[in-house]
Chain A
Amino acid sequence: MDTAVAAASTKLTEKEAQIYDRGIRLWGVDAQTKLRQSKVLFIGINSLMSEIIKNVVLVGVDKVELVEDALATYDKLACNLFLSEDSIGKTVVSEAIQKINSLNPLVTVDSTDKEFETMTDDFVKGYDLVVLSHTNFSNAYIVNNLCKKNNIPFILTGTFGLHGFIFEDLNEFTYQKRDESKEGSLIETHKLSYKTISESLKGGVWNKRVDPHFLVLFLLAKFEEKHNRVPDVLQNIDTEELTSNLNEVIKQHTLKQSEIDKIFKITKDTLRTLNAEVPTTCSVLGGIAGIEVIRILSRNGTPINNWLFLDVEKGTGNVEIL
């Protein structure tokens, strides 16, 4: 292909240079160009996802594709940036498309329907990244496996009230980074290897040095595996089972009472607000996930490897390799 033509098509326009100026000054024009060529698939447009999409669209990607079949109801409103009272009765996805178009007209936005059970490779092919908002682990495994098979980076993320997490499976991932502690140092290429979430949850050995949030997710996954559904936190029987499973795990380790209390508190809080989306957590996690998307698409800077756990009131955002 003629270099000049290729150059012309990838070069940022004058207007784009003006709009994205402050971002370009941070990560450079090469990274910006990569962003501009990227396509991202977002599955499940809840409040958290609306924050992530906002952050990603603002930096100027090529295209975002949305998957969401829900109608806007009051409990869907929560802190979803794309929904307001006027949205009630409309589809979430149509509202999202409209808002995204307004947010950055330079980005193409589209929607697609898909049932998890019947997804094929074609569903994820052609995207540079797939982001899934957490609803249950069964869907997570499906999408993660599809992405793995097609060598597409995958992010899973979710919030539970004041808690949240990000999981990344970027396959065999090469990226560039400059050692900023040395003046005028060269850009170096690095490589990371990732596992699937299924591998992580099943093989992940929890010990007391690991963030307790992982334990909670592990228990939720185990519950799902057994019952083929997510726990209903309003049902005592479900919470009792989760609690007894938690106790089992704890017994296998020598923990101080304060450590046990801490774990129980996080578990209790998480379960109590399993389906609650609040703007504090969504804004923070949406921002962190947003940077991850940017890093992954531009192959610039170290991405999370492979979990991040957020406790927004404590102000902790801890990264673990599990």
Chain B
Amino acid sequence: MTDRFSAMKLTYGEECFKAIQESKVLVIGAGGIGCEVLKNLVLAGFINIDVVDLDIIDISNLNRQFLFRMNHVGQPKALVAKDAVLQYNPLANINAYHGDVKTQQFDLEYFKKFNLVLSALDNISARRHVNRLCLSAGLPLVESGTAGYLGQVTIIKKGETECYECHPLPVPKQFPVCTIRSNPSAPIHCIVWAKMLFGKLFGGQKNGGDDDTNGITDMDNNIISGSEENGDIVRDEQLLVEKEKGYKRWVFHKVFNTDIQILAKMADLWKEKQPPSPLSLDNILDQKEIDETSKEGDQLINQLKDQKLWSFKENVEVFLDCAEKLKDQSEKENGLVWDKDDEISLSFVCSASNIRSQIFNIPMKSRFDVKSMAGNIIPAIGTTNAIISGLVLTEAIKIIGGRFNECHSTYLMKEPSSRRLLIPTSLEEPNPKCFVCNRNFITCKLNTDKVTVGKFVNEILKKSLAVNEPILTVGNDLIYEGGDQDLDKEEIAQRKKIEEKIMGQYRLVNGSQVIIEDYNQDFKVTMNIVHTNEFDEDIKKKKEEENKDQNRAKQQDEKKKEEDEKWFEIIGSTTTPSNENKKECDATNTNENGMVDDDDDFEILETPVPESLVCKTSSTASTNTTTTTNTTSLKRKYDEEDSEISDAKKQKSDS
């Protein structure tokens, strides 16, 4: 016995172990889950591993990302992780990339090199990207996430399971503008305000300092009430006085005095509450320090320095100090971006938020707590990641070993629920209305330099595909609206103009994707436009032949021949491939390992190609019209309820 894998071979079997060694795995993320996954992979005998991560190591990673040491802080995670994990098997062939998986470097071709992808990411945007690439490449994807004590693992495989986007994903919370600007009632409202203030004051041009929607304050406006019109303007003259005394005093007075005066005048806001009182800087600075922090009586011996609440005066002093420093920095660097790990930026937000809180009778928060809230920090520990990554590996081995039917999702609870700490659930089938994994695709080949929009609509959409009143969308734009009765004269005239345009000069270019719907019917299909000259030759030849046979009675034949000229081709079906069709596809393509060898590229990001081999049809030489399978069920049901997107059934957790 000369290696450490005898237990693996005994437990999983020689055949499975061989498959493990021959497989190629891509790990995306070398952080909390990533480190544990890499370790598990190498110890399980995986040899061909690529790992991608765009981050560098931070000191706060060290409590769980065990492949990293203090002296690694500042270095790229992927590279350090690779070196650390090689010790477990120096013969492993690991390629580590310090890069962003969303870039061209890691395109579809790159993904196709692997048998399996393991996602160890911590953000939704990257997860969506990886989801789509794996769907395109037909690769199984093991998705996982952790937050605090909780975690989950699931498998995504095109056509067999739900994809990451089958159900609506959680969107980050936003607070209503009125709450932030006029009416805060909780510390978080003041923190959000403070961050916006930072952006306004120090963001500079490049970082949204001029954004109209960031109406947090207007440093030059000192009108408290009234208007020019009525001639009853009330101004805060003190503002100009403070401006003379320097930037920090000017800012303080503007946001904590002038602006507060404006709000206080809105009497009805304050019917049930105390109106906010504007602050006088000099009064505060002159005040003797009252130690407010021993209010509770409880001495928190263990408290971290950052957990100690600053007194109100301390907050003011910190605010003034930071404002000045940040102003200088901002000017030197042409605008700053807020960073929770930048000491001064954090102190600014903390102090600004606390001062505002005090004005609105909201409890102040410690710097420690402000960092959590402002920085959206998710607490994290290694044990959760270790558990989840062990489950990730388990599912990975099932997939590699050809036991996909045994795969399932697993949820980790904080404490046992009905005696269960780990809860397995079966994988869900794909959502038939999923926008990402279940779209209905067809391809149309024609000469986009010659065919007009009108001809396209009338001949192809209306006649060939039997769409009643086509509605066409490309990207974010509605490019054609059928259905006369509900359009006004102007709109109809505009449409006529569009019909005269050449397709290629009106969005319907080679490689474009147009969504075709019907104004009257439940129908929807996505069509890929492919430009081709191939039909021109045929038409030319036919015309030449016609000229040769001028003596024939052509009057009757001409019409028929015109109809016979083929000038477009449609590939694909306008119905969703049924499960039966799917199985046929799989049966012909499955290789020994039970993994589907998909030749068809389900590709949204690049030029698409026909979706299913079995469903591929092309027009015959003598007719224009294409044959589509199941013409009777051409219209796909599109439920009215689709416009109501229900609340996410599953919470997708982020690590």
Contact = CB atoms under 8 A, between A and B. Distances in A.
B66 A58 contact: yes
Interface in A273-307: 273, 275-288, 290-291, 294, 301-302, 304
A283 B389 contact: yes
Contacts of A11: 301-302
Interface in B267-304: 299-304
Nearest to B7: A276
A280 B393 contact: yes
Between A18, A272, A294, A301, the greatest number of chain B beta carbons within 10 A of the residue's beta carbon is seen for A18
Contact of A79 (B12, B43, B422): B43
A319 interface: yes
A250 interface: no
17 contacts: A23-B64, A23-B380, A55-B386, A77-B4, A83-B4, A102-B69, A278-B8, A279-B390, A280-B391, A283-B386, A308-B421, A312-B390, A316-B424, A317-B416, A318-B416, A318-B420, A318-B421
B650 interface: no
A290 B386 contact: yes
Interface in B23-66: 36, 39-40, 43-44, 59-60, 62-64, 66
Given A23-B64, A313-B398, 8 more contacts: A10-B301, A19-B63, A21-B63, A280-B390, A282-B390, A285-B390, A287-B384, A317-B422
Contact of A284 (B60, B66, B390): B390
Given A79-B4, A313-B398, A14 B63 contact: no
Interface string B150-190: 00000000000000000000000000000000000000000
Given A20-B63, A288-B383, A278 B44 contact: yes
Nearest to A302: B415
B584 interface: no
Contacts of A18: 59-60
A288 B301 CA distance: 30
The 8 closest A-B pairs by CB, nearest first: A283-B390, A315-B424, A317-B422, A287-B386, A284-B390, A26-B379, A287-B387, A77-B4
Contacts of B372: 25
B265 interface: no
A142 interface: no
B421 A288 contact: yes
B518 to A, nearest CB: 45
A313 B69 contact: no
B66 A54 contact: yes
B238 to A, nearest CB: 40
B148 interface: yes
B541 interface: no
B430 interface: no
Contacts of A60: 63
Given A29-B302, A288-B383, A315 B63 contact: no
Contacts of A20: 63
Nearest to A57: B66
Nearest to B416: A319
A287 B59 contact: no
Interface string B1-23: 11110111011100000000000
A3 B300 CA distance: 11
B552 interface: no
B391 A78 contact: no
Contacts of B410: 315
B149 interface: yes
B307 interface: yes
A276 B39 contact: no
Nearest to B44: A279
B463 interface: no
A17 B306 contact: yes
A25 B7 contact: no
A281 B66 contact: no
B381 interface: yes
A103 interface: yes
A301 B377 CA distance: 22
Given A10-B301, A22-B379, A58-B63, A312 B394 contact: yes
Nearest to B86: A84
B7 A26 contact: no
B419 A22 contact: no
A278 B397 CA distance: 12
A6 B420 CA distance: 41
B88 interface: yes
Contacts of A212: none
Between A317, A318, A320, the greatest number of chain B beta carbons within 10 A of the residue's beta carbon is seen for A317
B60 A21 contact: yes
A140 B181 CA distance: 64
A302 B417 CA distance: 12
Contacts of B66: 54, 58, 103
Contacts of A312: 390-391, 394
Contact of A30 (B87, B302, B393): B302
Contact of B2 (A74, A278, A290, A319): A74
Interface in B447-478: none
B90 interface: yes
A7 interface: yes
B422 A26 contact: no
A316 B377 CA distance: 30
Given A276-B7, A278-B8, A29 B383 contact: no
Nearest to A290: B383
Contacts of A29: 300, 302-304, 307
Nearest to B385: A287
Interface string A92-124: 000000000011010000000000000000000
A130 interface: no
Between A33, A55, A277, A290, the greatest number of chain B beta carbons within 10 A of the residue's beta carbon is seen for A55
Interface in B70-97: 70, 87-88, 90
Between B70, B302, B419, the greatest number of chain A beta carbons within 10 A of the residue's beta carbon is seen for B302
Contact of B383 (A12, A22, A291): A291
B424 A12 contact: no
B382 interface: yes
B232 to A, nearest CB: 46
A81 B4 CA distance: 12
Contacts of A272: 10
A23 B381 contact: yes
A250 B424 CA distance: 27
A51 B60 contact: no
Contacts of B70: 105
A25 B149 CA distance: 12
Contacts of A287: 382-388, 390
Contacts of B583: none
B305 interface: yes
Contact of B88 (A22, A84, A285): A84
A288 B39 CA distance: 17
B1 A59 contact: no
A315 B383 contact: no
B496 interface: no
A288 B394 CA distance: 16
A246 interface: no
A175 to B, nearest CB: 12
B408 interface: yes
Contacts of B379: 22-23, 25-26
B544 interface: no
A314 interface: yes
A280 B390 CA distance: 4
Between B39, B69, B386, the greatest number of chain A beta carbons within 10 A of the residue's beta carbon is seen for B386
B142 to A, nearest CB: 13
B237 interface: no
B6 to A, nearest CB: 6
A58 to B, nearest CB: 5
A294 B39 CA distance: 22
B302 A314 contact: no
Nearest to A26: B379
A146 B406 CA distance: 43
Nearest to B9: A276
Nearest to A211: B419
Interface string A127-143: 00000000000000000
